[in-house]
Structure 1
Amino acid sequence: MTLDEIWGLKFLGKPYQDECILWAEEKVIAGCGEQNILILASLGMDASPDGTEVEYFFGQALSEQGESQPDRDAGLKNYSLCLCHQIVNQQRDPESTAKLLADINRHESYNTSIYSLWNLVVEDLTLLYCGHSAYENSELTLENKDRFIDKLARHFIVLQNNNVPSDFLLLSVCKSCHKLVRTQYRALPGENPLHELLIKVGLKQPRHATVCMSCGSLLLTHLYSNEQRENALGMLGK
């Protein structure tokens, strides 16, 4: 049990007292003899440990260890990285851990954050179990789900370690600007003066398309795949 897992559960509003006791028990097994660690570990012998007591001695144990609670964003990031590393190291079941990672996005409502990648996988798995095809991840099947989730976990670690912005999934590579850009779906001007006039008087509907907000180009590559996203990392900050 790691502190990253405990903070993740706490920030998501889930019970975490049992994990605090397990953390202390593992410390004792490893040879730690600090008083508050020993007291916290001993609470595991109670059938129903008092939550307030657990939290108090957990706080005292943290002080003894020189540890402190991180801020929320850092705590959730570290929690997600911990879960992904456990998938890669085959320490957790891939599918159930994908659901834990999806909970971060659902709980925080970060609909455009990289955590939403896990929501899409979980939603596609639901479709597959209902006999449908995956919608967002067309390569995902029930037969390859563990390998697919492992690959996504490795990719997610790369994204987190590169500190991508919260709107990273909404960005696109502009082939005209040669930059990573924000885009906008908007009406296009008429193809010629006559078309423009017909649009203005309401006799012709304008075409709409997603364009680069920097130069207006239509030549965009969206970040839909692991490969496209990792290729775009080198353009961050340019």
Structure 2
Amino acid sequence: MGTEIKYKILECKFGDKRFKIEEDLPDVGWYLYVYDQKGKCIADHLQNDLETVINFAFEEYKVPMTNWVDSKDISFVQEETNKILAQRVLSHFDSKKLIDWAIMLMGKGFDSESLIILAGLNSDTTEEREQYFWQTIDELGLDINRTDFELIENYAIYVAESVVNKKIAPKDGLTIMQDIVRSTDYSKRYVQFYEIDEDLDYLKYDNHTIFNSGLTLKNADKYITREFELFLETEKYKIDDKTRELAYCKSCDKIEKPKLKNIRNWFGKVKYQTWVCGLCESKSILHFSSQKGKEIILKRKTQPNNV
């Protein structure tokens, strides 16, 4: 089999238009595409080589020759921008991160008046940094059409992947997730990280846990990392809230929503309530909120023929 040919793609935004240069076969040349604000291609031009097409873009559309950036860098910068936008939604955002972001963009070859100014605002106010951040977004034509929910969703996955790939320490990742939990009003997708954090406090001060029976101070990093791994699995398979309410029963080997059962004393008076299997009423259940329960239920739901 022949080697796959990888064609070069350059992009930039200038004025109210977005431009893209795409390499084709050597005997064809290089295409220049012009897009309006709605993303509709309004013109295309074919030139013999890269230098010629860049010169043509300058002569025809006044696109500065230094504005062109590799599309791979644009994708990377877009991801980094989404992370910044997500962090702004969360609490305790340090606006100095906007300066780091600007310096990173310049290192990737991006250039704009506001970007250069932002990179030098070390001693300035958050308001001024924010002003030039948004102006840079506009000048570079970066896509910020994301809801807060989408930004947080993607950022949570980034944090989880960073912990699993050992780019972020487990406890640092857990700390970030606390902001995500609060910002999403304790969503079932993220609340397990709040429960781990609570249990770590209980272990420190009272030597017991409430939510995670297998968690100890010694195995905390391993336990947290495993929770992030399971989180990525639940996101991969788009596990819904109904599934998160289920439990695996060791007695009947079924997965069902558990129910509360009254436990009575010898006189028939209710002594306490406990969760039991919704089918056989056994107390020997593993809820989805536990790591073991999550592992079993995920396996049954995603690999039903292999169990």
TM-score normalised by the shorter chain: which range applies? 0.7 to 0.9
- Counterpart of 1:30 (choices 101, 108, 111) is 108
- Counterpart of 1:39 (choices 93, 99, 117) is 117
Q: Which runs of 5+ in 2 are unaligned?
A: 1-78
Aligned-partner Cα distance in 2 for 1:70–1:76:
10
Per residue, is there more strand in 1 or in 2? 2
Q: Does 1:6 align with 2:116?
A: no
Kindly tell me the number of residue pairs found equivalent between the two proteins. 216
Q: Does 1:120 align with 2:188?
A: no
Q: Does 1:223 align with 2:299?
A: no
Matched-pair contact (CA < 8 Å) for 2:118–2:132: yes
Distance 1:210 1:225, change over 3 A: closer
- Counterpart of 1:76 (choices 142, 152, 161) is 152
Match of 1:200 in 2: none
Aligned-partner Cα distance in 2 for 1:180–1:66:
46
Report which structure shows greater RCO (CA 8 Å, sep ≥6).
1
Matched-pair contact (CA < 8 Å) for 2:117–2:132: yes
Aligned-partner Cα distance in 1 for 2:256–2:114:
52
| Percent of paired sites with the same residue | 21
Give CA deviations for 1:95-150 in whole Å, capped at 9, x if unaligned.
Answer: 13202202322343325x12111111111111222250333222222222222212
Q: Does 1:136 align with 2:211?
A: yes
Aligned-partner Cα distance in 2 for 1:102–1:93:
15
- Superposition RMSD on alpha carbons, in Å? 3.4
Matched-pair contact (CA < 8 Å) for 2:286–2:292: no
Q: What SS does the corresponding residue of 1:43 show, helix, strand or coil?
A: coil
Distance 1:184 1:129, change over 3 A: closer
Aligned-partner Cα distance in 1 for 2:168–2:181:
20
Distance 1:144 1:211, change over 3 A: closer
Q: Does 1:93 align with 2:169?
A: yes
Q: Which runs of 5+ in 1 are unaligned?
A: 188-202
Per residue, is there more helix in 1 or in 2? 1
Once the 2 structures are TM-superposed, how far is the Cα of residue 18 of structure 1 from its aligned partner? 1.8
Amino acid at match of 1:101: M
* TM-score (ref. length: structure 2): 0.58
Q: Which of these two proteins has the greater Rg computed from alpha carbons?
A: 2
Give CA deviations for 1:210-236 in whole Å, capped at 9, x if unaligned.
Answer: 564xxx664775314334324434638
Once the 2 structures are TM-superposed, how far is the Cα of residue 32 of structure 1 from its aligned partner? 2.1
* TM-score (ref. length: structure 1): 0.72
Give CA deviations for 1:63-113 in whole Å, capped at 9, x if unaligned.
Answer: 3142205212211111111211221232223213202202322343325x1
Q: What SS does the corresponding residue of 2:143 show, helix, strand or coil?
A: coil
Amino acid at match of 1:138: S
